[in-house]
Amino acid sequence: MVYGFVRQSGGHVTLYSELGLGTSFGLYSPAVPHEMLTKDVRLAGHQHHALPRGNGERILIVEDNARVRKLSVERILDLSFATLEAENGDRAYEMPKGGAQVDLVVSDLVMPGTLNGYDLTAKIA
């Protein structure tokens, strides 16, 4: 399912596995769909289409892996969005319920606690 989604989005998947050490997957997707790039930009190859920038919007990052969460927050901050972060769905649900302004939720699906990503988004909605 993941491979199909990544491929239909114009990206690719890498896989590395070593006996006794584990397996890692790399998921790569384009930052901007190819159709959105102008012909001049496609031909130049070295120019980049401008990425959308934040304008006061706050994104809640929900991820139980601290390293992945930190990287996600850094990348969102680099785009000039404000962020909040939570280590699980239960903690994330308490934030908007407690009055935190959230414009978008980016969540892991499988997390410890009572709320997985699906349950979290259903409750927030």
- Which residue segments constitute the domains of the chain, with CATH numbers given? 1-29 (no CATH), 57-125 (3.40.50.2300)
pLDDT of residue 20 exceeding 60, the answer is yes
Question: Which tokens hold the place of 76?
Answer: 């969102």
CA distance 107 to 64: 9
More confident residue, 52 or 79: 79
List all residues 6 or more positions away from 119 whose beta carbon is below 8 Å from its beta carbon.
89
More confident residue, 1 or 48: 1
| Residue-level pLDDT at 24 | 86
CA distance 8 to 96: 33
Asked if 120 contacts 108 with a C-beta cutoff of 8 angstroms, the reply is: no
| Residue-level pLDDT at 65 | 93
**Could you tell me the pLDDT band of residue 44, with boundaries at 50, 70 and 90?**
very low
Question: Which tokens hold the place of 69?
Answer: 């969460």
| Residue-level pLDDT at 108 | 92
pLDDT of residue 41 exceeding 90, the answer is no
Mean local confidence (pLDDT), 50-65: 88
